[in-house]
Structure 1
Amino acid sequence: MEEENLEEVVKSFEELGVCEPLIEACAKLGWNTPTKIQSDAIPHALEGKDIIGLAQTGSGKTGAFALPIIQALLEAKSPQSFFGCVLSPTRELAIQIAEQFEALGASIGLKTAVLVGGVDMNQQQFALGKRPHIIVATPGRLMDHLTNTKGFSLRTLKYLVLDEADKLLNADFEKSLDDILKVIPLKRRTFLFSATMTKKVKKLQRACLRNPVKIETTTKYSTVDTLKQQFLFVPAKHKHCYLVYILMEMSGRAMVFTGTRSASHFLALMLRNLGLRAVPYNGKMAQAKRLGALNKFKSGDCSILICSEVGSRGLDIPSVDMVINYDIPDNSKDYIHRVGRTARAKRSGVAISLVNQYEVEQFFMIENLVGKKISKYPAEEEEVLQLLERVNEAKRISNMKMKESGGKKRRREMRDDDEEETKKYLNKGNKFRKTSKKSRR
């Protein structure tokens, strides 16, 4: 594999070889200076080389692959439908990638189609009938159309992009991805982008990239310098109270990450009962409700988005000021993706982790992963617990509301999640008791 990096930081898109119409499109989007991943990747991509790019979330990866693909389309002898395909692990990321393609290609009539689950297949078939230049899809839904949509194929495909490649290789997508790679042209350019390099990503690069240039703008598992990371050890029984305290102390927009879907619903209800503008966001919600929650958060109608793990990938909301890990993730790498929702595109941001007595070991693993000690968030217990009575009342009302509005199916889903959460904490507790004496910070 060829490993190259540009020695000097390029100061303009013109110096990278980007054509004038796209330079103007970048200016309209406020992209005045290329990011590091764009500076390093775009010249190689314009030369027709395969790319494997490792970069932090929020580093401008979409521009790094979208600009070369649109420029290649402009330089083609005649506009070609189904010219490029971008595969994404989440619906929201797919929609955001398509929006950036459309914005960059607005002046040249670029057409895109988004193929994701949770949307009517007939609508998507109609969009495919318009012969779009770029398809952005989740693997499962793309395979559905390749199998069932009459007249649709990717025989003319010239560019394939695998975004968030480490996530695309989990059990949910692996078979669909293998099937897609079997039916698309071997003669194509392939761009693979990931925030983390795993064994599966290495295997994939060997399978579908030809003599790629490796662009690595970050260490293996790192966070951006503009991100301030903090933690707070809290007793599990008072974690709700500490969350409310932090949200009341901090200003701006916050994303709060939970371990289960039911927890995201419950916390959103509880915070609303306390007068805080919060909405839930999780994979169990219908697609329309998920997009509605995102739009409220982006527009400022609500200032707090309570997310399950589905929110940790691909959501590009530049104005997120703070990420709170209400539950510490079991997989330390998920921490990198969660906190990557803030401090994007050279902005500053804060990430605060609430660590209870059962999550100590996971937190130490996160510190080992990022390679530094995380500082303590200043909070006086006496001051925090002044909120306890109000928080307990809000919890009581939230429990009542969830029971009243649930129905049998909803209660069963909540019970399953609660059982899952209980088992998780019991396992953590047992593990903690066995290993706490051996743990060293």
Structure 2
Amino acid sequence: MPGPEDASTSTPTATFKSLGLIDPLLEALDQVGYKAPTDIQVESLPHALEGRDIIGVASTGSGKTAAFALPILQKLWEEPKGLFACVLAPTRELAYQISQQFESLGSAMGVRCAVIVGGMDLPTQAIALAKRPHIVVATPGRLIDHLENTKGFSLRGIKFLVLDEADRLLDMDFGPIIDKILKLIPKERTTYLFSATMTSKVAKLQRASLSNPVRVEVSSKYQTVSTLLQYYLLMPLKDKDAYLVYLVNSLAQNSMIIFTRTVNDAQRLSIILRTLGFPAVPLHGQLSQSQRLGALGKFKSGGRKVLVATDIASRGLDIPSVDIVINFDIPTHSKDYIHRVGRTARAGRAGKSITLVTQYDVELIQRIEAVIDKKMELWPTDAEEIALLKERVNEASRIAVNELKEQGTKSGGRKRRREEGGGRDDRDRDDDVVEAGMPKWSKKRR
């Protein structure tokens, strides 16, 4: 099979119109506020509109979703029919976001999307699939469940397959499931593969799934954008919580995402911050799907200014108004740092990142600086103010630890009741509480 051609069609004066998009899509782009195409869109759209398979290599926040959604929608306008395209995404949140973008860009043509992800009701999803959506956006595991078990559902008629965040799909061991899916879809199709990195696994997937593709690459090196100001904050490990609260307090007018390494810290810090009066909400993989979407919705709408998240929120999610990213824990892989700080300073906007560095983290921060080829600046602090905060932060920390213990006891009790055949106790239901893990006393105080 011939290797991918390199594309270099970029022109500094490119517009969406000059790239060949039709009027209904130009109007939709105008409505959603897309003024000019990004580099990946300029490079890939002309080839995609010619019907070529595409390998897109671009960093986070580069406009990849529109780069594959627009040519699919243009073809759908020309050939209106039932199930038309399938998009595979590594996470549930990214799947919902891709679906929203398809629906907003395809509003003039009444495009219908179905999101098929884990954590949601299978029969409801089967009904959505029976309604013949134009676009199915799915995580691989749940999609194969439906392909194997949902009567009447197949992908045999699709014209497009998209593999988004392909490197992450393969990092999450979806490879064997993707192989199964590839056997259940037509060989005569157009395929787009988008990835932040070209690993050997991605190259193998490309060979298996694409036909004579054009390769478009707008960021061959891992780097952060020029509009991002990057800082570090040095502190003793024992005072880390107090320094974080100092930062959140001094930056209270900004929207911020605080990244933690563990689910426990995401829960613990969100309780500490709420106890001290900051509107914080956690986002991590142990929340139910409705809680995760609710947390994200509250943060996006501005209802909560602070999102405390694990790396579940570091890639793919487009949250337009993030002013600041705080790394409570330094990620062990430099590329995870780049994905985290890529949540701010998106699409040409300015942003800041602040990384908390203890005495044990110096080597990690130096490694990240070497990869991004930038020295971070020291964030200024007020030692007196931090000293005054310590007692209140320690008290809030004790409350958080007790609350998490109480939650652990309750969830253990619910598990035992289910194992004993008692089902779920409705008195313990917190599904409707978006701020999962919010302590009972804090709900009363609000």
Q: Report whether the alignment pairs 1:399 with 2:406.
A: no
| d(CA) in 2 for partners of 1:411, 1:392 | 29
Indicate the residue corresponding to 1:213 in structure 2. 214
| d(CA) in 1 for partners of 2:412, 2:234 | 32
Indicate the residue corresponding to 2:440 in structure 1. none
Q: Determine what percentage of the aligned residue pairs are the same residue.
A: 55
Retained in 1: the 8 A contact 2:86–2:158?
Answer: yes
Indicate the residue corresponding to 1:287 in structure 2. 289
Question: Could you report, residue by residue, the CA deviation over 1:406-435 in whole angstroms, capped at 9, with x for unpaired residues?
Answer: 31646999xxxxxxxxxxxxxxxxxxxxxx
The TM-score with structure 1 as length reference comes to 0.90
Question: Runs of at least 4 residues of structure 1 off by over 3 A?
Answer: 380-383, 408-413
**How much has 1:34 moved relative to structure 2?**
1.1
Question: 1:161-176 counterparts in 2 under 5 A?
Answer: 161-176=162-177
Indicate the residue corresponding to 1:317 in structure 2. 319
Question: 1:189-208 counterparts in 2 under 5 A?
Answer: 189-208=190-209
Q: Which amino acid aligns with 1:62?
A: T
Question: 1:9-408 counterparts in 2 under 5 A?
Answer: 9-76=12-79, 79-250=80-251, 251-407=253-409
Q: Which amino acid aligns with 2:19?
A: L
Q: Which amino acid aligns with 1:55?
A: A
**How much has 1:361 moved relative to structure 2?**
2.4
| d(CA) in 1 for partners of 2:295, 2:14 | 37
Q: Which amino acid aligns with 1:93?
A: L
Q: Which amino acid aligns with 1:45?
A: A
Q: 1:171 to 1:299 in 2, by over 3 A?
A: closer
Q: Which amino acid aligns with 1:284?
A: Q
Question: Could you report, residue by residue, the CA deviation over 1:377-400 in whole angstroms, capped at 9, with x for unpaired residues?
Answer: 222444422211111111112222
Q: Which amino acid aligns with 1:175?
A: P
Indicate the residue corresponding to 2:435 in structure 1. none
Retained in 1: the 8 A contact 2:10–2:39?
Answer: no
Indicate the residue corresponding to 2:423 in structure 1. none
SS of the aligned residue for 2:229 comes to: strand
Gaps in structure 1 of 5+ consecutive residues: 414-441
**How much has 1:178 moved relative to structure 2?**
1.6
Retained in 2: the 8 A contact 1:89–1:138?
Answer: yes
SS of the aligned residue for 1:71 comes to: helix
Gaps in structure 2 of 5+ consecutive residues: 416-446
The TM-score with structure 2 as length reference comes to 0.89
**How much has 1:105 moved relative to structure 2?**
1.2
Retained in 2: the 8 A contact 1:56–1:224?
Answer: no
Q: Report whether the alignment pairs 1:6 with 2:9.
A: yes
Indicate the residue corresponding to 2:422 in structure 1. none
| d(CA) in 1 for partners of 2:93, 2:148 | 23
Retained in 2: the 8 A contact 1:3–1:213?
Answer: yes
**How much has 1:371 moved relative to structure 2?**
2.1
SS of the aligned residue for 1:13 comes to: coil
Moved more, 50-59 or 261-270: 50-59
| d(CA) in 2 for partners of 1:228, 1:410 | 44
Q: Which amino acid aligns with 1:241?
A: A
SS of the aligned residue for 2:197 comes to: coil
SS of the aligned residue for 2:277 comes to: coil
Retained in 1: the 8 A contact 2:10–2:42?
Answer: no
Moved more, 357-366 or 225-234: 357-366
| d(CA) in 2 for partners of 1:412, 1:336 | 39
RMSD over equivalenced CA pairs, Å: 1.7
| d(CA) in 2 for partners of 1:410, 1:262 | 16
Retained in 1: the 8 A contact 2:90–2:172?
Answer: no
SS of the aligned residue for 2:17 comes to: helix
Question: Could you report, residue by residue, the CA deviation over 1:222-258 in whole angstroms, capped at 9, with x for unpaired residues?
Answer: 1111111111222111111111111111231000011
Question: Could you report, residue by residue, the CA deviation over 1:244-298 in whole angstroms, capped at 9, with x for unpaired residues?
Answer: 1111112310000111101101000000111111011100000111111111111
| d(CA) in 2 for partners of 1:187, 1:336 | 37
